[in-house]
């Protein structure tokens, strides 16, 4: 299974129902109006989530979704950061089928008129989630990038301990940053997709157990000489990041 995390985000200052969010610039999924153009290689939705200080609900809409009606989503994270556990819509076993090259848009309804940053995350995939099993282990990493608020910021990571020679499958991950909302991997070579998930703000936060130990399947592969970079979407200019990789050696 291949998957990719993409975001919509904007400062919303209206209680108008179904106010459209703009897609966050993405290197792998092309824009279409204020939304994303569904890529033919990843035409399924396996997960969706929303977070905002005044957020009530959000809605996803495309031509194929509107064959029935725009898809209303709830519960959501009400606050400046994602709740723990993270409320999200899980379609991993039965993905929402989209039509290639159609526009996927996100709309939100907030409960107040004050300006507040509101973000919707969607996970595009090529099929249902396929959990993996095997002899896995976890490694801790750190980074020291200055993040840009409300945008993707990339950084190299430093593993606490070197890996043995070989190829490794990432089968789970945990990302931590003081104001981080989401994070994803940037592969070095291979597919352009950037698999990711929620970011935690503290070591104690447990956002989603399905992100660990093979439950989301294989995220991507890398060799010990070409570890991936990490990309954060945060609310502020954090200067310290860390995380964990759940790995299975495949070669």
CB 197 within 8 A of CB 5: yes
Q: What is the reported pTM?
A: 0.96
Q: Where are the domains of the chain?
A: 3-125, 136-249
Residue 144, SS3 per DSSP: coil
**Hey, how many other C-beta atoms are within 10 angstroms of the C-beta on 189?**
8
Per-residue pLDDT of the chain (251 residues; tens, 9 = 90+): 899 999 999 998 777 788 999 999 999 999 999 999 999 999 999 999 999 999 999 999 999 999 999 999 999 999 989 988 999 999 999 999 999 999 999 999 988 777 889 999 999 999 999 999 999 999 999 999 999 999 999 999 999 999 999 999 999 999 999 999 999 999 988 789 999 999 999 999 988 989 999 999 999 999 999 999 999 999 999 999 999 999 999 99
Give 136-249's CATH code, choosing from 1.10.287, 2.60.40, 3.30.1660, 2.60.120.
2.60.120
CATH of domain 3-125: 2.60.120.40
Provide CB contacts within 8 A for 108, sequence distance 6+: 12, 18, 19, 21, 50, 52, 55, 56, 57, 58, 59, 118, 120
Kindly report the backbone phi and psi dihedral angles of residue 117, in degrees, each rounded to the nearest multiple of 5, phi listed first.
-70, 130
């Amino acid at each position: 299974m291949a998957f990719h995390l993409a975001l919509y985000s904007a400062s919303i200052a209206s209680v108008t129902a179904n106010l459209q969010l703009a897609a966050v610039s993405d290197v792998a999924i092309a824009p279409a109006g204020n939304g994303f153009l569904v890529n033919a290689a990843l035409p399924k939705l396996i997960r969706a989530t929303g977070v905002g200080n005044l957020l009530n609900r959000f809605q996803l809409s495309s031509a194929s979704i509107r064959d029935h009606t725009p898809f209303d989503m709830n519960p959501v994270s009400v606050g400046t950061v994602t709740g723990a556990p993270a409320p999200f819509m899980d379609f991993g076993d039965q993905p929402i089928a989209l039509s290639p090259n159609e526009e996927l848009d996100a709309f939100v309804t907030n409960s107040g008129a004050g300006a507040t940053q509101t973000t919707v995350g969607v996970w595009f995939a090529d099929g249902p989630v396929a959990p993996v099993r095997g002899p896995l282990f976890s490694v801790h990493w750190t980074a020291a990038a200055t993040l840009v608020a409300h945008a993707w910021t990339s950084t190299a990571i430093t593993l606490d301990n070197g890996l043995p020679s070989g190829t490794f499958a990432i089968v789970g991950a945990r990302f931590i940053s003081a104001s981080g909302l989401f994070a994803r991997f940037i592969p070095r070579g291979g597919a352009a997709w950037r698999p990711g998930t929620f970011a935690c703000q503290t070591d104690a936060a447990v956002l989603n157990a399905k992100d660990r130990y093979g439950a989301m399947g294989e995220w991507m592969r890398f060799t010990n000489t070409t570890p991936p970079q990490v990309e954060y979407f945060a609310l502020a200019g954090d200067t310290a990041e860390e995380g964990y990789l759940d790995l299975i050696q495949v070669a």
